[in-house]
Amino acid sequence: MSKIKPSKGAPYARILGVGGYRPTRVVPNEVILETIDSSDEWIRSRSGIETRHWASDEETVAAMSIEASGKAIADAGISAEQIGGVIVSTVSHFKQTPAVATEIADKLGTNKAAAFDISAGCAGFGYGLTLAKGMIVEGSAEYVLVIGVERLSDLTDLEDRATAFLFGDGAGAVVVGPSQEPGIGPTVWGSEGDKSETIKQTVPWTDYRSGEVAKFPAITQEGQAVFRWAVFEMAKVAKEALDVAGVSAEDLDVFIPHQANERIIDSMVKTLKLPESVTVARDVRTTGNTSAASIPLAMERLLATGEAKSGDTALVIGFGAGLVYAATVVTLP
């Protein structure tokens, strides 16, 4: 018989607060057209993107995260000292070690919170949310900060017609804490590594360091393959997340998919047969694709504009490089 005492965590977990940070520089499509042969109409029709935000030198991954996190902590009505875990999802923090989460945890004023980074691309927020839920229910932390943050402008090839217009920068954060009723449903997540070549970094950092390539590494993708996968396969994942949460499309108030492409969003709404009453996040239009930051940023904007309200039931799904995905149903803070 085991001598280990059972964990004494909360019965459930939920999102208690959300915050976002968008860099001050707004970049319209006209700027992108300076380096690729395209048009504003083509970009809008293919992606829905009108503008995106690009970070300045001062708007680092850590700085943007701290701004977003401060808002989320205030929104949750707790203090930084109560945060027991900091999880940061990013692919654009260029120090291999230490994890940027440790710097963020310290500068926010947490009391030696557990802190670590994860790399799960555009599904990273969902991965972090799931880990945070586990920490709270297991009892290793009372409150966990989950941050999605990217400076994808650093990894954008402005001469690549397939991707130059897609990416933006920003940070979104949520505080996850204890609840007496379910606030975060079961997660449907996974990976399809056989499709890893469809979204990838052009070359390893070592090739650039050794001089084998002169061009700084960037993110590239096979657009049509990614589109087909997202539209057909991710709608199935979203439906499964609804099923395991015991929620129907008619029960939903809000749909917050990864803000990759508005055509993908429209296709998923149609495939899921979402009622017109469901509010659909379309933050991609003015923020672009911010990878791990896109879902919390879209969530924060919907709540700030009143398009969604506290207590609404929302389906969130992230998907991207790996290929990886994560979907769950949540109660909005």
Query: Is the predicted pLDDT of residue 265 greater than 90, yes or no?
Result: yes
Q: Give residue 223's pLDDT.
A: 87
Q: Decide if 289 is catalytic.
A: yes
Range 194-209 average pLDDT: 92
Whole-prediction pTM value? 0.96
Q: Strand pairing partners for 179? A: 12
- Bridge-based pairing state of the strands 83-89 and 114-118: parallel
Q: Helix 294-305 and helix 124-138: axis angle, to 10°? A: 80
* Active-site residue, selected from the candidate residues 29, 53, 93, 122: 122
Q: Which of 53, 93, 258, 261 is catalytic?
A: 258
Residue-wise pLDDT tens digits, 298-333: 999 999 999 999 999 999 999 999 999 999 999 999
Instruction: Assess whether pLDDT exceeds 90 at residue 1.
Output: no
Considering 29, 53, 261, 289, which one is annotated as catalytic? 289
pLDDT in tens, 8-27: 899 999 999 999 999 999 99
Q: Is the peptide bond before 178 cis (omega within 30 degrees of 0)?
A: no
Q: Which two tokens stand for residue 214?
A: 């002169």
Is the pLDDT confidence value at 249 over 90?
A: yes
| pLDDT (0 to 100) of residue 7 | 81
Is residue 5 predicted with pLDDT exceeding 90? no
- Give the residue from 279, 272, 265 showing the smallest Cα distance to 249: 272
Single-letter amino acid code for the residue at 134: G
